Amino acid sequence: MYLSRFVSLFALALVAVGQDIFIPAVKKAFDDADIPEDIEIVFNPTALLEVSLPQTVGPPIILHAGIHVPRNDTAGPPTFHVVGNVGHGPFVVATVDPDAPTPADPTEAQVRHFLGGNFFNENGLLVNVTPAVSEFRQPTPPAGSPAHRYTFLLFNQSPEFNSQTLVNASTIVTNFNISQFASAVDLGNPIAGTFMLVAPDPAT
Ligand SMILES: *[C@@H]1O[C@H](CO)[C@@H](O)[C@H](O)[C@H]1NC(C)=O
Ligand SMILES: *[C@@H]1O[C@H](CO)[C@@H](O)[C@H](O)[C@H]1NC(C)=O
Ligand SMILES: *[C@@H]1O[C@H](CO)[C@@H](O)[C@H](O)[C@H]1NC(C)=O
């Protein structure tokens, strides 16, 4: 019993190498990176959000919380999966950068890198049936900055989301506040999330 459980966990780890597998590890990575404090959210995830970045050559990069990704590999747009017993949806996905223009002086934070709703859970794949409110923007941390924490959050969608007027495709992406937005639109706390660290392109 113990041995077979060990073997199947080991097999799972081999298959799933790289991506988030354990919810407590994701929570710890968020806490260790001070993300809940810095974006003023309560982060007690009950599921895993899997974010895949397509690559021009080779398989997608699947994030795990705190992974460093070369900026050039972050063009996206990402696809999202959810792992956990979360129901069919709808869901909202938000991506924010709390470190713009630099982590030490984040005067433009948060920058909204994605905001989309009406995602439904199709056997784990999150499929959106409406265009995103804010389409994905590739990370562009400025030269000289340390890596930024690009943070992806999954929320249960509220009835209010589809009639919100706070953000649209032409709303400025800087000085966004996901805590304030979630509160205004009644999204509650995120149910899952992950984040990647992206540094500026090396000087050429
Ligand atoms: C960066 O990405 C572009 C487009 O995907 C590719 O053509 C280029 O070779 C990449 N550069 C590096 C240094 O990987
Ligand atoms: C988009 O939102 C901005 C506020 O962020 C508002 O001023 C503008 O009228 C909105 N545009 C449309 C087309 O709704
Ligand atoms: C973001 O919104 C929350 C309210 O949800 C507020 O407490 C906080 O001060 C805001 N942060 C900034 C930087 O404005």
**pLDDT, tens only, 152-197:** 999 999 999 999 999 999 999 999 999 999 999 999 999 999 999 9
Q: Say if residue 1's pLDDT is above 60.
A: no
- Angle subtended at Cα 108 by Cα 170 and Cα 48, rounded to the nearest 5 degrees: 80
Task: Please compute the mean of the pLDDT values over residues 46-62 and round it to a whole number.
Answer: 96
The pLDDT of residue 109 is 97
What residues contact residue 153 under an 8 Å CB cut-off, 6+ apart? 41, 49, 93, 94, 95, 96, 178, 190, 192, 193
Residue 127 exposure: Cα atoms within 13 Å on the Cβ side = 7
Q: Is the dihedral of CA 178, 182, 187, 189 positive or negative?
A: positive
Domains of the chain: 2-198 (3.90.280.10)
The pLDDT of residue 69 is 96
Which ligand sits nearest to residue 115's alpha carbon? 2
Q: Say if residue 18's pLDDT is above 90.
A: no
CA 33 to ligand 3 center in whole angstroms: 19
> Taking the complete model, does pTM exceed 0.85, yes or no?
yes
Q: Which atom of ligand 3 is nearest to the CA of 182?
A: 5
Among 53, 55, 56, residue to substitute to test ligand 1 (most atoms within 8 Å of Cβ): 56
Nearest CA to ligand 2 atom 1: 168
Nearest CA to ligand 1 atom 8: 72
pLDDT band at 204 (very low <50, low <70, confident <90, very high): low
CA 169 to ligand 2 center in whole angstroms: 8
Nearest to 71 by CA among 110, 113, 38, 105: 113
The pLDDT of residue 179 is 98
Which ligand sits nearest to residue 169's alpha carbon? 2
pLDDT band at 16 (very low <50, low <70, confident <90, very high): very low
Residues with CB under 6 A from ligand 3: 40, 177, 179-180, 183
Average pLDDT of every residue of the chain: 92
Q: Which atom of ligand 2 is nearest to the CA of 172?
A: 5
Q: Which atom of ligand 3 is nearest to the CA of 183?
A: 5
The pLDDT of residue 202 is 84
Q: Which atom of ligand 2 is nearest to the CA of 165?
A: 2
pLDDT band at 17 (very low <50, low <70, confident <90, very high): low
